[in-house]
Amino acid sequence: MASGDLEVEYKKLVKEISECRQCELYKYRKNPVPGEGPLNTPIMLIGEAPGKQEDETGRPFVGAAGKLLTKLLEEAGIGRKNVYITNVLKCRPPSNRDPKPEEVEACSPYLRQQIKLIKPKMIVCLGRHSAKLIFSWAGIPWTNMKRQHGQVYEGVIEGLKVKIVATYHPAAALYNPQLRKELEEDFLKVIGPLAKQILEGKIETTKRTTLLDFLRGKG
């Protein structure tokens, strides 16, 4: 798809999200939060849902968790400007509660369309709700974050071969030093190096890659 066509289709999607009434969350939102970042990036980060500051600004990850995410991206050598960031839900749940299954189902078509348009080669799942959904779409068994964070998987979503890494949500890491340590290690040791290889065109998504393969330089 030509860049002009891509932008047109993306604007249509943003308009659809802004007019969405598929679940009850539209009644509580100030602004929908579609996502932001370059549409031609091979790296997509997917969180769970907007928070208070995101709802006020219409931008993803701009609160305290967003500042931590930006810091992690910079320290990992990727930079926020080089990735597309969105959430499973495009509207803030009241009191920042967890997404409900029916809300995820209602909002999922928008995320699928974002994946179709952006065509990422790597998806980073921030938090268990994002990971559970993306892993299911890719046909990868999901157990829990403790067991599977920081590992590199490969699956097919919307016909695209994509590398997938799950890690803790930055919001959870803000108040838990151990989770923050593991989140930082995931970004520095796995997410950053893999993303840089993909951004530089040094890696192809052709097979399922384990963490061991990646560390051995076979990813």
pLDDT for position 60? 98
Q: Helices in 49-149 by DSSP H: which ranges?
A: 52-57, 64-75, 101-118, 128-138, 145-148
Q: Is 18 exposed, middle or buried (0-12, 13-18, 19+ CB in 10 A)?
A: middle
- Per-residue pLDDT of 131-184, as tens digits, reads 999 999 999 999 999 999 999 999 999 999 999 999 999 999 999 999 999 999
pTM attached to this predicted model: 0.91
DSSP 188: I
* Nearest partner of 123 among 57, 35, 30, judged by Cα: 35
Exposed (0-12), middle (13-18) or buried (19+): which is 210, by Cβ within 10 Å?
middle
Residue type, 200: E
Q: What is the pLDDT of residues 15-67, one digit of tens each?
A: 999 999 999 999 999 999 999 999 999 999 999 999 999 999 999 999 999 99
Under the banding of pLDDT at 50, 70 and 90, the label for residue 219 is: very low
Report which residue type is found at 133. Answer: L
What is the residue whose two structure tokens read 């370059």? 38
Mean pLDDT of 185-207: 87
- First-to-final CA distance of the chain: 28
Domains of the chain: 3-215 (3.40.470.10)
